[in-house]
Chain A
Amino acid sequence: MSESDLAGARAASDEDRRGAAESVGVPLEGGVSDAFVRERASATPSKTAFTATTPTPRDPFPSDRSRAVRAAPLDLPLRALQHWFAAAIMHPHGVAAGIEQTAAHGASAVALGDVERVLLPSSRLSGIERLAVYGDAYRARLVECLADDYPALKYALGDDAFEALCLRYIARHPSESPNLNAFGRHMTAFCRDEERPALQFEAELAALEWAMVEVLHASSAQKLDLATLATVPGDRWAQARFSASGTVRVMEFSHPVNAFFQAFRTDQAPGVPAPTWSATAVFRDGATIWRMNLSRAMHALLMSLFGGTPLGPALESLARAGQLTEEEGAQVMVWFRDWVRHGFFAQIETE
């Protein structure tokens, strides 16, 4: 079955019953070809000019660019030099602002006019312009990283607004890790709690996209399989507890986030949707990441089980709350086989 077959089947089904009827989710990727994984490289991004961060060019050939007449180098210890350099290139308003700020705070002895006593000019760039190459590359690399993690968010906001959002994010959450895998982890909270006005739909979209990043990197070493499930005696089912595997995330939204994402992935140019309840499971099965829409009953049952409630009490609670119809109750074992087949559970405990 192809991705388009599945998408077509989904579109024809009732929204709250998607996933239950189809038994499989919507594949994010059909095979091992993988443009989704963010990839580090030792290369420098080709984009090297953020309008806000590149200093205004001065006279292109000032006499002080001549190495023969330049002022004596400033003698900065290595540690002070690195602090100065980093503060300049990481400053959200550009290297000149960074230099002025550190000098004003007494954190550096390098005034803006003294930059070329630290960094030599080249035949075509001043010292501060050469520093700005690094400042621009710093932001470009991290914006690229966030664009890799949040392609649908980028689409939803538009390129310019997304880049502006990313620059605010980078200033608020600079990387403190040697690795970029988790750099974008604050985006949901950032959209919801720190942007004004709050980006509610975008926050939910970011949560879906970050869930895909998380399951991509999660270990699938421990997964309950169907053979183990088949060994559970019938009289033990009610007290069975299921723990979530590392490669599944279950999410509840106030917008049809997965439907938007699927439309984005299939080039249907979706608009920002009106609020409506939805829930989605994101999981990795082998090398492929999938998304499965969940009914209210499926979502409630999974959340209850992942919270440690045994199966029997979880189902009784759902029934009491009117969240599980008789028809759905008859489908529970079908759901379970599907969830187990896709590795939703790490293990089952029946004692």
Chain B
Amino acid sequence: MSNRFGFPDLGIGLGLRTVHYAHLLEHWPDVGWFEIISENYMQTAGRPLYFLDQIAERYPIVMHGVSMSIGSTDDLDVGYLGELKALRDRTRALWVSDHLCWTGVAGRNTHDLLPLPYTEEALRHTAERVRRVQDFLGAPLLLENPSSYAEFAGSSMTEWEFLARLSEEADCGLLLDVNNIYVSACNHGYRPADYLNGIPFDRVAQMHVAGHTDQGTHIVDTHIGPVLGAVWELARQAYERAPGTSLLLEWDAEIPPFEDVHREALKATAFVAPREVDRRAPSRRAAPAGP
């Protein structure tokens, strides 16, 4: 663990996906931890929680959101934050993350991770909202660098400068997605090494790796695997600067069987030191709560 927040090193983890529920509940494989997409388990009282409760009994869970819309000029959605907090408490999630982006405005939600202009105004606006979210959650929020396909003419700083200043001013953590660095670097024409040089790694509590799709004119963050060699190399370089950071593979398109996804994630053992899987002991509850 190298981050200033004391978030633990969970080793190598996987994104929890519904197509793997059956495998997990039958085999309970040795996986360090799972990251859930928070919204998949919100506004539901049924089957998603039926599975999640059982998995959270056995594995460390962290929450990764896609709808906080931290950079939007709409008001923060207090109802959303309340549900997020309740889910964190239910799963005993070790931390909560979301993206440096906005997802909608004027009450409409695009359900996309839309880019922010990197300006002083956006920095002040976003930092103030991050502080409010952290006060509400009572814990540091991790913000992930997004993949982006457009950049604003009015930006006055780079993305990494914005992230560094934002994390300092809001005192938040970072989830460094090295695939997103690769994707955005290709789309916008900058060097990933410059990005890494600008990141305050003592604030990085988690890393992501994933696959992507080259469309010819731009690269899309599809999370289709396996992970490109250049992205693994970037992950290695990032990990060297923050050894002991929890690392996770995202695979969201054409998802193969669990063993294949797990095998891909374990390629990280090339630079992540082997560690004993810290699986939660099953609780004394005889069975997980019903849906």
Contact = CB atoms under 8 A, between A and B. Distances in A.
A, B co-complexed? yes
Interface of A: 31-35, 37, 39-46, 48, 70, 73-79, 81-83, 85-86, 89-90, 116-120, 122-125, 127, 129-131, 133-134, 137-138, 141-142, 145, 174-182, 215-221, 246-247, 284, 286-287
A46 B218 CA distance: 12
Given A175-B108, A179-B39, A32 B46 contact: no
B18 A41 contact: no
B18 A178 contact: no
Contacts of B270: none
B150 to A, nearest CB: 4
A37 B151 contact: no
B104 interface: yes
B153 A40 contact: no
Contacts of B17: 39
B193 interface: no
Contacts of A124: 216-218
Interface of B: 15, 17-19, 21-22, 25, 37, 39-40, 42-48, 50-51, 64, 66-69, 72-73, 77, 80, 99, 102-114, 116-117, 119, 121-122, 125, 144, 147, 149-154, 187-189, 210, 213, 215-218, 220-224, 250, 252-253, 290-291
A86 B110 CA distance: 8
A76 to B, nearest CB: 7
Main secondary structure of the interface of A (DSSP, over half): loop
B39 A40 contact: yes
A219 to B, nearest CB: 4
B152 A81 contact: yes
Nearest to B179: A43
A48 B213 CA distance: 11
Contacts of B250: 41-43
Contacts of B69: 178
B46 A218 contact: yes
B250 to A, nearest CB: 7
Contacts of B189: 122-123
B96 to A, nearest CB: 14
A61 B40 CA distance: 42
A43 B221 contact: yes
B46 A220 contact: yes
